[in-house]
């Protein structure tokens, strides 16, 4: 069975790594990896391939950045050409980025069977580019791998046939369990003069937070003021760094908050575990905080991972409420097993290989 896996952005490298390993362990699959090039900096891409033992992509389409339509369109065109040449039995896409949507459309238009990992997530905010990518990808997928019960319910409500949906758990939970043993915080804590459980780890990159200078200014002010209670370490996504520079806010932020370049996957796992609290607008980071029982303040007004808020380990937080939320971070008695048993990748690999048998 020939599977074409399409990745492009940082979180997809993590998700694909565990499924690629599971496919290898099961044998019988010939997987080709297509990297759209959406993320291209060494710190956003290469280091992930190295740390996650991902094979070199068979194709790097080198698409890079751009407005949504242009970026997605260029990816669609280039992905279609590769799929026509490779003629895979199935196309596999992950998550909710523009690379996901481009891969899904390319497969659907060629009539190739399509599987979507992390299906059924909904924030119910169409203004988020990721929400559009999720909705459309799920509509054209033949096999939908849902990470949670809630995701299954969301898909059923949209009329997706039950026999296409598989509840498998979350591949990011598999990855966290698999790689956490290799993560070590000591050197980074020392380098930045931080002590375990005495700092907040923050990440911000979502378009709704970075693209509006008024909102971005409110976030900078909130972080600066919160840093009087607790030191803050902020690995800066390139999107955020350039938005801050454009808005003339970088200097103000750096005067109070330790801003560093993006962390590798292993360093990120280590620092999430070491933090007293995580402040983020990232879907993946809010889940990783939960995996490690670290309270999380989600800098958004909604989340596609509602379970995290319902569990009591995370709260949605506006910039104005950040300092107060840091004084009383959410904390529940225990972290319930919401994301499966750490076997999502294995279940996905089995289902993919079975789909080949029944085709
Ligand atoms: C994308 C995803 C988002 C995901 C995130 C993970 C979409 C719509 N969004 O957002 O869901 O959470 O990846 O990081 O697909 N840039 C660089 N170097 C890079 C990559 C990006 O400098 O390696 C800069 C460019 O200036 C670019 C900007 O970051 O314009 C945005 O990059 P893009 O890939 O469009 O979206 P992300 O914000 O990374």
Outline where the chain has alpha helix (H): 10-26, 47-51, 68-86, 98-109, 129-140, 149-157, 171-179, 186-191, 207-210, 213-226, 238-246, 250-256, 265-274, 283-291, 306-310, 322-327, 344-358
The yes-or-no verdict on residue 359 having pLDDT over 70 is no
> How many other C-beta atoms are found inside a 10 Å radius of the C-beta of residue 87?
10
Residues annotated catalytic, as ranges: 205
Q: Give the global pTM.
A: 0.97
pLDDT tens sequence across 238-292? 999 999 999 999 999 999 999 999 999 999 999 999 999 999 999 999 999 999 9
pLDDT for res 78 = 98
Model confidence band, residue 332 (pLDDT cutoffs 50, 70, 90): confident
Res 356 pLDDT > 90 = no
pLDDT in tens, 208-234: 999 999 999 999 999 999 999 999 999
CA distance 296 to 272: 10
State which H helix or E strand residue 117 sits in: strand 114-117
State yes or no: pLDDT of 333 exceeds 80. Answer: no
For residue 152, the CA-to-ligand 1 centroid distance in Å is: 28
Q: Which of 6, 16, 101, 237 to mutate to test the pocket of ligand 1 (most atoms within 8 A of CB)?
A: 237
Tokens for 227, please give them: 């840093």
The pLDDT-based confidence of 357 (bands split at 50, 70, 90) is low
């Amino acid at each position: 069975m020939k599977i074409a896996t399409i990745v492009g952005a940082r979180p997809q490298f993590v998700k694909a790594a565990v499924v690629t390993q599971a496919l290898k362990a099961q044998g019988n699959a010939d997987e080709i990896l297509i990297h759209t090039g959406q993320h291209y900096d060494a710190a956003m891409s290469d280091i992930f391939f190295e740390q996650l033992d991902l094979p070199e992509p068979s194709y790097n389409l080198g698409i890079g950045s751009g407005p949504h339509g242009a970026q997605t369109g260029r990816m669609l065109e280039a992905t279609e050409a590769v799929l026509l040449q490779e003629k895979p039995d199935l196309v596999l896409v992950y998550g909710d980025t523009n690379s996901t949507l481009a891969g899904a459309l390319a497969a659907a238009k060629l009539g190739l069977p399509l599987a979507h990992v992390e299906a059924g997530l909904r924030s119910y905010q169409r203004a988020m580019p990721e929400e559009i990518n999720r909705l459309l990808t799920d509509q054209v997928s033949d096999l939908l791998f849902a990470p949670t019960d809630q995701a299954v319910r969301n898909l059923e409500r949209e009329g997706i046939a039950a026999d296409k949906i598989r509840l498998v758990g979350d591949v990011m939970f598999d990855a966290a369990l698999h790689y956490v043993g290799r993560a070590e915080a000591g050197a980074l804590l020392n380098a930045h003069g931080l002590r375990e459980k005495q700092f907040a780890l923050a990440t911000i990159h979502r378009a709704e937070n970075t693209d509006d200078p008024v909102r971005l200014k409110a976030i900078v002010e909130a972080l600066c003021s919160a840093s009087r209670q607790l030191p803050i370490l902020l690995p800066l996504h390139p999107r955020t760094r350039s938005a801050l520079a454009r808005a003339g806010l970088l200097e103000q932020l750096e005067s109070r908050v330790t801003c560093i370049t993006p962390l590798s996957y292993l360093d990120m796992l280590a620092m999430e575990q070491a933090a007293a609290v995580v402040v983020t607008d990232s879907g993946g980071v809010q889940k990783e905080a939960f995996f490690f029982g670290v309270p999380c303040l989600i800098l958004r007004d909604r989340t596609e991972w509602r379970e995290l808020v319902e569990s009591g380990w995370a709260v949605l937080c506006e910039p104005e409420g950040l300092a107060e939320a840091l004084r009383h971070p959410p904390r529940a008695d225990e972290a319930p097993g919401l994301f499966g048993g750490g076997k999502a990748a294995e279940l996905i690999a089995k289902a993919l290989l079975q789909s080949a048998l029944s085709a």
